[in-house]
Amino acid sequence: MGITGLIPFLEKASRRANVDEFSGCTVAIDSYCWLHKGAFACADKIVRGEETDIHIKYCLKYVTMLLSKNIKPILVFDGRHLPAKAMTEAKRRESRDISKKRAAELLSLGQIDEARSFMRRGVDITHAMALSLIKECRRRNVDCIVAPYEADSQLAYLNVKNVAQLVITEDSDLILFGCTKVLFKMDLDGNGTLVDTARLPLVMRCPIERYSFDRFRQMCIMSGCDYLASLPGIGLAKARQFVVATQDSNFANALKKLPSFFNKSSLTVTDEYRAAFLQAEATFKHQYVYDPLERAMRRLTETDDEVLCTKWATAECSDRAPHRPAYFYSAMMDSPTTKSRHFIWAAEATFKHQYVYDPLERAMRRLTETDDEEGGCGSSSIVVEVTHRCALSVTDEYRAAFLQAEATFKHQYVYDPLEREMKRLTETDDEGEREVYEQSV
């Protein structure tokens, strides 16, 4: 995960700090990092499929610590996988499967300690685990967001827009998405390494007028990231050397000069590599994120090249368009098996478009009308789908019983002690309504 060696490389832009410096602020947390660390303590149970909540309790210790320091946490979770990381995800799945098989072999041989090591490598953080943590957070009134795609870009958006003044993570990739302040490797006392991107020019070793964050990002991508492997022999130091020296504003074109710059005839920069570089850069810059203030989907940064971004950075071939809104978790999902592609879009539609009864028109209608019967108000919304089915099965008997119940609440007979006579709770001139009530009693 992240850029190899980036945290030590950022020494001039970082310092040791305690999270209590942000008392009174909001922090956004890369929740899967906590879940991964917590899962190490119960890896054997998870790999065997046994019930455990050790990893959830581990995460809640951090939540409790932040709350005790008067810090408001927002836990952010990964959504759908990106096409840009398809190969990376496939390699990780393969590695986990190999580790699980090796753990099983070692257990059969009675080599428990060795098996535990492979079990930790084989742990997969599932949607069900994320859901369990979300439910516990909601019980504590702690906000959670499921990102449309990766949590990284969502965390960066919250930070850049000052919804959260700090991001907490273990993943150095966060810097490349444009975060302003990131606390890495925070322990249970709140201590960690704080990186302030305002100090990145010191890392690049170039005059301030020649520094740009785009150049910093390009350096990191060159050194190798989740979206693009590095060229042979190119790490952070050499990438910095090249990026600072190049004057070409078209960086894809500048990459052609890489072999001559390092005097390496064996180094080949193909057209495919340059195209993949641009795609990786677009992925860092233009992923879809959820804006909790506007309750809408938008890109992390806007782009003029929708074709490149839609192909690589945000979309995949599926039955779900990439532009539907994610949601802020103030409502819970009903099933731990619900996949992210379905539950991302459900809650907002559920709040907006449930069926209700209009007593004036005596008809069923939506709370607010929608043009998207098959999208957010269709199969992806558990609550809306249920109410929609109920609406379709309303019988004449049900409607008659509904009217009788309504009339019963309104027009029951009561005793008037002042007039010493019987009268209705409320009078009615509607003979039809009066008849309905008489039938009900």
**Who contacts 307 (Cβ-Cβ below 8 Å, separation ≥6)?**
none
Tokens of 396: 């004449």
Residue 7 half-sphere exposure, CB side, CA atoms within 13 Å?
Answer: 17
Q: Is the pLDDT of residue 50 over 80?
A: no
Structure confidence at residue 346 (pLDDT)? 46
Structure confidence at residue 353 (pLDDT)? 65
CA distance 407 to 440: 8
pLDDT tens, 157-181?
999 999 999 999 999 999 999 999 9
- Find how far residue 246's CA is from the centre of its chain: 36
pTM above 0.85, yes or no: no
Among 13-17, 309-313, 365-369, name the one with the lowest average pLDDT.
Answer: 309-313
CA distance 214 to 148: 24
Structure confidence at residue 19 (pLDDT)? 98
What secondary structure letter does DSSP report for 147?
A: -
Between helix 31-40 and helix 127-139 the angle, nearest 10°, is: 110
Percent of the chain with pLDDT over 90: 48
Among 234-243, 249-258, 299-308, name the one with the lowest average pLDDT.
Answer: 299-308
User: What is the per-residue DSSP string for 382-427?
Assistant: HHHHHHHHHHHT--HHHHHHHHHHHHHHHH-EEEETTTTEEEESS-
Banded model confidence at residue 330, pLDDT cuts 50, 70, 90: very low
Banded model confidence at residue 108, pLDDT cuts 50, 70, 90: low
User: What is the per-residue DSSP string for 15-41?
Assistant: EEEEGGGGTTSEEEEEHHHHHHHHHHT
pLDDT tens, 201-217?
999 998 888 899 999 99
Structural domains of the chain in order of their starting residue, each with its CATH number = 6-202 (3.40.50.1010), 204-286 (1.10.150.20), 396-440 (no CATH)
Q: Is the pLDDT of residue 243 over 90?
A: yes
Q: Is the pLDDT of residue 278 over 90?
A: yes
Which parts of 173-324 fold into alpha helices (H)? Answer: 200-204, 213-223, 236-245, 251-254, 258-261, 271-286, 306-308
Structure confidence at residue 397 (pLDDT)? 79
User: What is the per-residue DSSP string for 106-134?
Assistant: HHHTT-HHHHHHHHHHH----HHHHHHHH
Structure confidence at residue 160 (pLDDT)? 96
Banded model confidence at residue 432, pLDDT cuts 50, 70, 90: low
Structure confidence at residue 191 (pLDDT)? 98
Structure confidence at residue 36 (pLDDT)? 86
CB 3 within 8 A of CB 224: yes
CA distance 204 to 210: 10
